[in-house]
C-alpha cells in the first residue's frame, strides 16, 4: 500500500512534467504562428489548450483524493498542496500561449509583429520555450541548482521585455498605435509566461530546501507567485 | 475540540474577507493616485501590498497546519484546499493594484490617463472596487445568488475594456504611442483584477453547490481560473 502511495505521488509529478511539455509546445507553436501569420497553426494552439486544462483537472482530482485517502502530514502534505499551486501556474502558462495564438489569429493575414521586432520576439519565444523545458526538468529531478539557473533566463526575458518598450517608445517607431498595443500585450504575455515558470521552479526549491529563493516573497508555499 | 476546529475554519474565511477589504482599498486608492497623479497615495498603495502578502502567508500556514492536524476529508478538505486557491487570486489582485500605483508613480507629475479616457478609467476603478466588495460578501455569506451577480459586473468591466481599445484605435487618438502603451497595460490590470475576483466567487459557488458556474472550465476546484 505504501508502495502504491509512493507511485501515486510520483504520478502527480509526471503529470506536471507532461503539462510543462504541453505548454512548452504551445508557446513554441504560438510564436511561430505569430511570426509567420500562420492561421492553421494558431487555431491548433488555441484548440490544444483544452488538453492542458484537462490535465490540470486530473491532477487536482487525484491530489484531493490522495489527501483524503492518505492523510499525509509534514513534507508530503506540503508537496501535494504546493503541487496544486504549481499546476495552477502551468495552466495559466497555457492560457498565455493561447493569448499569443489568438493575437496571431486576430491579425491574420498580417503579422502582429513589425520587422524590427521580429528578432526580439523570436528570442522571447525561445527563452519561453527553454525556461519551461528547464522547469519540467526541475520538477522531474528536483535539482535545485537547475532551478536557480532559471532566474538567469528570467532576467534575460525581462531584458528583452525592456527592449520591446525601448523600440516602441523610441524615435524610430513608425507603426502607429495599433501595432504598439499588440506588441505591448504580446510582450507582457511572454514575460508573464516566464514569471509563472520561475514561480514553479521556486516552489520546487522551497520543497527541497525548505528555504525560499531570494526575492520570492513571504508565502509558506514557496513564493508569493509571479510578480 | 470540534468546536475549536469550526472556529479555525471560520477564521480562515474571515482572513480571506480581510484580504478582499485590503485589495479593495488598494485598487480604489490606486485609481485615485492614477487619475490625480498623486505620488504619495501611489507610494502608500505600493507599500501596503506587503500586508496583503503577509495575510496570504498567514492563511497558507494556518491552512497547512489545519490539514495536518485535523486530517479533513470530503467537503472540509475541499474547502481548505479551495481556500488556498482563492487566497492566491486575492494576492494577485493586490499585485495588480500595485501595478496601477506603479504606473501612477512612473508618470508623476503627469497623469498616465488622457482626458477622454478619464471617465472610462473611473468607471473601471469603481467596478473593480464594487466587484471585490461583493466577493468579500460572497466569501462571508456563501450567497450563491450574489456570486452570480458578479458575472454582470465582470461583463461591464469587459465592455469598458473594449471601450478603451475603441478609443485607443479610433481616429481621434492624438496622444501617441507612449500613452497608448500605458493605457493598454492599465486596462489589462483592471480587467485581470475583475477576472480574479470572479474566479474567487465561482470557487465559493462550487463549494456550496458542487456545480461549476457556466463557462468556468473543468477544474474540480471550481474553474480553471481567470481567463
DSSP per residue over B59-122, as a string? HHHHHHHHHHHH---HHHHHHHHHHHHHHHHHHHHHHHHHHHHHHHHHHTTS-SS-HHHHHHHH
Is A220 within a domain? no
Is B221 within a domain? no
Using CB atoms within 10 Å of the CB of residue A210, give its burial: 0 to 12 exposed, 13 to 18 middle, 19+ buried.
exposed
Q: Which of A220, A217, A183 has the alpha carbon at shortest distance from B184?
A: A183
Q: CA of B67: how far to CAs of A10, A93, A200, B63, B78, in Å?
A: 21, 28, 22, 6, 11
Contact status, residue A197 vs residue A135, Cβ threshold 8 Å: yes
Find all residues with CB under 8 Å of A214, minimum gap 6, and list them.
none
As a whole number, mean pLDDT of residues B136-162 equals: 95
Domain that holds residue B198: 2-209
B47 touches chain A (CB under 8 A): no
A180 touches chain B (CB under 8 A): yes
* pLDDT of residue B47 exceeding 70: yes
A47 touches chain B (CB under 8 A): no
Is B220 within a domain? no
Task: Quickly state the pLDDT bin for A218 (edges 50, 70, 90).
Answer: very low
B35 touches chain A (CB under 8 A): no
* CB contact residues (below 8 A), chain B span 109-168, against chain A: 165, 168
Contact status, residue A65 vs residue A57, Cβ threshold 8 Å: no
Across the interface, do A64 and B77 touch by the CB < 8 Å criterion? yes
User: What integer pLDDT is reported at residue B72 of this predicted model?
Assistant: 87
Helices (H), chain B: 2-36, 39-70, 74-107, 115-141, 144-169, 176-209
Partner residue facing A88 (CB), from B88, B178, B184: B88
User: What integer pLDDT is reported at residue B227 of this predicted model?
Assistant: 41
- pLDDT tens-place string over residues A13-51: 999 999 999 999 999 999 999 999 999 999 999 999 999
Phi, psi of A111 (to 5 degrees): -100, 140
User: What integer pLDDT is reported at residue B73 of this predicted model?
Assistant: 83
Residue B116 CA, chain-centre distance (Å), reads 26
Contact status, residue A154 vs residue A198, Cβ threshold 8 Å: yes
Phi-psi map region of A219: left, alpha, beta (phi>0 left; psi -120 to 50 alpha) = beta
Neighboring chain A residues of B57 at a CB cutoff of 8 Å: 218-220, 224
CA distance B227 to chain A (A): 7
- pLDDT tens-place string over residues A166-210: 999 999 999 999 999 999 999 999 999 999 999 999 999 999 998
* pLDDT of residue A97 exceeding 50: yes
Mean pLDDT of chain A: 92
A184 touches chain B (CB under 8 A): yes
User: What integer pLDDT is reported at residue A214 of this predicted model?
Assistant: 47
User: What integer pLDDT is reported at residue B212 of this predicted model?
Assistant: 62
Neighboring chain A residues of B95 at a CB cutoff of 8 Å: 224-225, 227
Least confident of B68-82, B89-103, B204-218: B204-218
In the structure grid, which three cell numbers stand for residue B197, read together? 475576483
SS3 B215: coil
User: What integer pLDDT is reported at residue A212 of this predicted model?
Assistant: 62
- pLDDT tens-place string over residues B76-91: 999 999 999 999 999 9
In the structure grid, which three cell numbers stand for residue B125, read together? 476603478
Partner residue facing A218 (CB), from B54, B218, B221: B54
Distance CA A1, CA A11 (A): 15
Is A197 within a domain? yes
Contact status, residue A207 vs residue A79, Cβ threshold 8 Å: yes
Neighboring chain A residues of B225 at a CB cutoff of 8 Å: 88, 91-92, 95
Is B218 within a domain? no
* pLDDT of residue A217 exceeding 50: no
User: What integer pLDDT is reported at residue B219 of this predicted model?
Assistant: 52
User: What integer pLDDT is reported at residue A173 of this predicted model?
Assistant: 94
Task: Quickly state the pLDDT bin for A1 (edges 50, 70, 90).
Answer: low
CA distance B20 to chain A (A): 17
* pLDDT of residue B56 exceeding 80: yes
Distance CA B224, CA A150 (A): 26
Distance CA B35, CA B194 (A): 19
Is A219 within a domain? no
Is A214 within a domain? no
- Whole-number percent of chain B with pLDDT over 70: 92
CATH code (residue A63)? 1.20.58.220
User: What integer pLDDT is reported at residue B224 of this predicted model?
Assistant: 41
Secondary structure, 3-state, chain A: CHHHHHHHHHHHHHHHHHHHHHHHHHHHHHHHHHHHCCHHHHHHHHHHHHHHHHHHHHHHHHHHHHHHHHCCCHHHHHHHHHHHHHHHHHHHHHHHHHHHHHHHHHHCCCCCCCHHHHHHHHHHHHHHHHHHHHHHHHHHHCCHHHHHHHHHHHHHHHHHHHHHHHHHHCCCCCCHHHHHHHHHHHHHHHHHHHHHHHHHHHHHHHHHHCCCCCCCCCCCCCCCCCC
Distance CA A224, CA A140 (A): 22
Q: How far apart, in Å, do the first and last CA atoms of chain A sit?
A: 41
Task: Quickly state the pLDDT bin for B61 (edges 50, 70, 90).
Answer: very high
Contact status, residue B70 vs residue B3, Cβ threshold 8 Å: no
User: What integer pLDDT is reported at residue A88 of this predicted model?
Assistant: 95
Is A95 within a domain? yes
Chain A to chain B Cβ contacts (< 8 Å): 117
* CB contact residues (below 8 A), chain B span 64-93, against chain A: 64, 67-68, 71, 73-74, 77-78, 81, 84-85, 88, 91-92
Q: Which is more confidently placed, B37 or B210?
A: B37
Task: Quickly state the pLDDT bin for A224 (edges 50, 70, 90).
Answer: very low
* Complex confidence, ipTM: 0.88
pTM equals 0.91
- pLDDT tens-place string over residues A113-162: 999 999 999 999 999 999 999 999 999 999 999 999 999 999 999 999 99
Q: Which of A104, A6, A112, A98 has the alpha carbon at shortest distance from A46?
A: A98
Distance CA A11, CA A74 (A): 19
Task: Quickly state the pLDDT bin for B1 (edges 50, 70, 90).
Answer: low
Q: How many domains does chain A have?
A: 1
Contact status, residue A53 vs residue A91, Cβ threshold 8 Å: yes
Across the interface, do B84 and A88 touch by the CB < 8 Å criterion? no
Amino acid at each position: 500500500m505504501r508502495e502504491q502511495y509512493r507511485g501515486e505521488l510520483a504520478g502527480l509529478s509526471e503529470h506536471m512534467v507532461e503539462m510543462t511539455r504541453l505548454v512548452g509546445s504551445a508557446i513554441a507553436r504560438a510564436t511561430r504562428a505569430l511570426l509567420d501569420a500562420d492561421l492553421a497553426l494558431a487555431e491548433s494552439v488555441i484548440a490544444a489548450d483544452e488538453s492542458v486544462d484537462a490535465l490540470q483537472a486530473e491532477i487536482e482530482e487525484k491530489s484531493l483524493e490522495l489527501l483524503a485517502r492518505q492523510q499525509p502530514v509534514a513534507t508530503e502534505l506540503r508537496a501535494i498542496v504546493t503541487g496544486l499551486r504549481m499546476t495552477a501556474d502551468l495552466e495559466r502558462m497555457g492560457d498565455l500561449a493561447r493569448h499569443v495564438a489568438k493575437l496571431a489569429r486576430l491579425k491574420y493575414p498580417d503579422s502582429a509583429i513589425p520587422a524590427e521586432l521580429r528578432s526580439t520576439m523570436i528570442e522571447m519565444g525561445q527563452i519561453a520555450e527553454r525556461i519551461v523545458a528547464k522547469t519540467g526538468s526541475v520538477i522531474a529531478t528536483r535539482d535545485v541548482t537547475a532551478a536557480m539557473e532559471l532566474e538567469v533566463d528570467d532576467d534575460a526575458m525581462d531584458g528583452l521585455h525592456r527592449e520591446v518598450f525601448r523600440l516602441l517608445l523610441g524615435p524610430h517607431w513608425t507603426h502607429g498605435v495599433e501595432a504598439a498595443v499588440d506588441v505591448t500585450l504580446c510582450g507582457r504575455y511572454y514575460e508573464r509566461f516566464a514569471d509563472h515558470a520561475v514561480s514553479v521552479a521556486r516552489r520546487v526549491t522551497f520543497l527541497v530546501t525548505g528555504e525560499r529563493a531570494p526575492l520570492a516573497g513571504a508565502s509558506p508555499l514557496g513564493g508569493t507567485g509571479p510578480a
